[in-house]
Amino acid sequence: MDEHGFEIDMVRTLVVRYPYILSKSSKELTKFFEIMANQGVTEEETMRALLDCPKLISRKDLEHQIKEIQFIFRLYHGITEQEVNDIFRSFPYLYLCEIHKIQKFMGEFRKYRFTKEQIIRVVSVK
């Protein structure tokens, strides 16, 4: 295990899947983990999300992207930040989606009168 408690196999898998991560500074890595921690995502959950979707760490405006997505979910259907983060845990690609596509997606749910609970069930993989 490393200093954060990650299994060496997890780190090795991440490097094999996304060698570009080796070019990231410890400051960039720390910033990424801090952003996710501010969303209530644990280091272990963050590492799993990174294994599933390594491009998350390369997103320059990740913090802004998360806030935009949370705003759209709340605006269209009253889905809370915590509920959006729960969706992220099962679908980490969420925070890489283009904002206009998220808006269209949420608009379609509104058009077809999906309830908040139906939307969460549809977009969560759990």
**Structural domain containing residue 45:** 1-58
Number of domains in the chain: 2
Residues 73, 95, single domain; the answer is yes
Residues 16, 67, single domain; the answer is no
pLDDT tens digits for range 13-34: 888 888 888 888 989 989 999 9
Residues 70, 115, single domain; the answer is yes
The pair of three-digit structure tokens given for residue 47, joined into one six-digit string: 């590492």
Which of the listed residues 35, 58, 81 is the one where a domain comes to its end?
58
pLDDT tens digits for range 75-114: 999 999 999 999 999 999 999 999 999 999 999 999 999 9
In angstroms, the CA 109 to CA 37 distance is 29
Residues 4, 37, single domain; the answer is yes
In angstroms, the CA 50 to CA 56 distance is 7
